Amino acid sequence: MPCSVSGAAPKQDCASLPRPRLYLYPECIGTPPWQAADSARLNWLWLALRKSEYRVTDGACADFFFLSNYRSATKSSERVATLLNKVAAAYPYWNATSRRHLILMPCDHGPGDCMWKRNRAVFTGVPDAANGLPGAAMPFSSPSRRSLGFVTYNGDPGRWNVFAPGLDVRLPSHEMHECGPFCGLHRLPPKARLAALRRHSPWYDGRMPAQRSSREGACASAAASGAWLSAPRRIELFFAGRIPKGGPRGDVFRHHHARERFVLIDSAHERTSSRRVSAASDALLPNRSSRADWFPAAMADSEFCLSPLGTNEGDSDRFLPALLYGCIPVFSLADEARPFEEVLPWDSCSLRVHETDLPRLHTILASISRAQRASMRRAMCGVWPAMLWTRLGFASSRPRGEGYLGESGRADALATFMAVLRRRVEADAST
């Protein structure tokens, strides 16, 4: 496809095309300055969008316009400006749309860490013709002024992530992510990972989509049984991962490392003299060093699973495996956007605890009754299938047509991404 409107694709009958209608700028338009370590993390999504039934070749029909990510070894605000200048010069769509341009953001620390320079000075590299407003493409602009949306893993509104609800879109992790559906299982071969996930997840009953009625959801039988929903679990709060001295992870460890039934494991230093492990960990998980599947086993035996931001404000990815094992996610930022929050009932199946309330986290969790916990687990049925990229292949050795846990994929993460965009189109049409 050409990099200018001359010789562009033939006009399409816009009214006959399903929504949301997506226009993908051709790859020859430019090279955004991603850091090499993160540059390819969303290439799979770009390929999926190219094959999507919602992709249009006539930009005049589009509801949203996508810019891809490419491999590069640097990050540069100036190169972002060059890219957007090319778009504004070669295509008429930037000024003709309002906050409908989206760029794939592969870095889990946000645009200020893997694309733009970490500089909060006024960004003058992109003229008004490309912005629509002065500085509006700069990630640190006011969310109400920024015209370029980010498709990202991180919902943190502060620091380098600057997530703007209603403009940006937060995605769930995919299976190649360090903490996607196979979180804690990457030492195992693909087939063994899938077997461990199914063995410990309460949602899996051994049936595949072809064995279910058209009206039956993937978690219908497990949810209807009810017994496991209210059954007590040995661990009250679980977290395993790097635990620095500061930040939410460090705060939780500092205040609760001696707390009964709080399993907090600093997996980065567990085998060193800097070992930081809560008092209850060895008693409740005595054989974890000899079990390759100890991580999912622990989540499946936990009432709540902490899902804090990562080191240096990386994405809070523990929510995904938590949902898959029926463990109620606890987000440690009160204003953090959760994946596809516009269309999913997150408040019914997770907690958001303000950072200042982390010292009394034990009191907050204790106040949630057994009936409330069962209700929150039941509500997970409306969320966890939307967190899985079921219709995308990856490398999990799942036979074609099989879900991770028996889900069909009709309402998977890709379908839910489209539902978010469709909701925005409908909201704009009603105003």
Dump pLDDT digits (tens) for 335-376: 999 999 999 999 999 999 999 999 999 999 999 999 999 999
Residue 117 in domain? yes
Instruction: Give, for 320, the enclosing helix (H) or strand (E).
Output: helix 319-324
Using the 3D structure, point to which of 142, 170, 198 is the last residue of a domain.
Answer: 170
User: Are residues 164 and 194 located together in one domain of the fold?
Assistant: no
What residues contact 153, with CB distance under 8 A and at least 6 apart? 105, 108, 170, 171, 173, 177, 315, 317
Rounded to 10 degrees, the C-alpha dihedral 196/200/205/206 comes to: 10
User: Are residues 228 and 356 located together in one domain of the fold?
Assistant: yes
Q: Which amino acid is at 376?
A: M
* Residues 12-50: b if buried by 16+ CB within 10 A, e if exposed: beeeebebbbbbbbeeebbbbbbbeebbebbeebbebbe
Using the 3D structure, point to which of 170, 198, 213 is the last residue of a domain.
Answer: 170
Nearest to residue 243, comparing CAs of 318, 338, 152, 158? 318
What residues contact 161, with CB distance under 8 A and at least 6 apart? 109, 110, 111, 112, 152, 154, 155, 313
Residue 411 in domain? no
Q: Which residues of the chain have pLDDT under 70?
A: 1-8, 31, 36-40, 70-73, 117-144, 159, 208-225, 269-275, 395-397, 399-401
Contact of 126 with 332, CB cutoff 8 Å: no
User: Are residues 86 and 232 located together in one domain of the fold?
Assistant: no
User: Are residues 233 and 329 located together in one domain of the fold?
Assistant: yes
Residue 36 in domain? yes
Residue 15: predicted pLDDT: 93
User: Are residues 148 and 28 located together in one domain of the fold?
Assistant: yes
User: Are residues 152 and 298 located together in one domain of the fold?
Assistant: no
Residue 275 in domain? yes
User: Are residues 211 and 303 located together in one domain of the fold?
Assistant: yes
Residue 361: predicted pLDDT: 98
Residue 81: predicted pLDDT: 75
Rounded CA gap, 113 and 174, in Å? Answer: 21
What residues contact 172, with CB distance under 8 A and at least 6 apart? 180, 320, 339, 340, 386, 387, 388, 389, 413
Q: Where are the alpha helices (DSSP H) in 181-302?
A: 190-200, 220-225, 227-230, 247-256, 281-284, 294-300
Contact of 355 with 334, CB cutoff 8 Å: yes
Residue 179 in domain? no
Contact of 196 with 179, CB cutoff 8 Å: no
Residue 185: predicted pLDDT: 93
Contact of 209 with 385, CB cutoff 8 Å: no
- Provide the residue range defining the domain that includes 59: 14-170
Complete edge-to-edge strand list for the sheet that includes strand 262-266: 262-266, 235-241, 302-307, 328-331, 351-352
Residue in this structure with the two tokens 């006539």, named with its chain if needed: 58
Three-state secondary structure string covering 173-215: CCCCCCCCCCCCCCCCCHHHHHHHHHHHCCCCCCCCHHHCCCC
Rounded CA gap, 16 and 256, in Å? Answer: 58
Rounded CA gap, 252 and 214, in Å? Answer: 44
User: Are residues 133 and 254 located together in one domain of the fold?
Assistant: no
Using the 3D structure, point to which of 117, 139, 170 is the last residue of a domain.
Answer: 170
Read off the pTM. Answer: 0.91
Tally of CA atoms within 13 A in the half-sphere of 188 that contains its CB:
20
Residue 305: predicted pLDDT: 98
User: Are residues 216 and 67 located together in one domain of the fold?
Assistant: no
Residue 141: predicted pLDDT: 58
User: Are residues 161 and 303 located together in one domain of the fold?
Assistant: no
When computed from its CA atoms, the radius of gyration of the chain, rounded to whole angstroms, is 22
Rounded CA gap, 195 and 199, in Å? Answer: 6
Residue 416 in domain? no
User: Are residues 198 and 138 located together in one domain of the fold?
Assistant: no
Q: What is the DSSP letter of 55?
A: B
Residue 22: predicted pLDDT: 97
Residue 175 in domain? no
User: Are residues 165 and 34 located together in one domain of the fold?
Assistant: yes
Rounded CA gap, 124 and 139, in Å? Answer: 12
Number of structural domains in the chain: 2
For position 325, which CATH number holds? 3.40.50
Residue 309 in domain? yes
Contact of 223 with 374, CB cutoff 8 Å: no
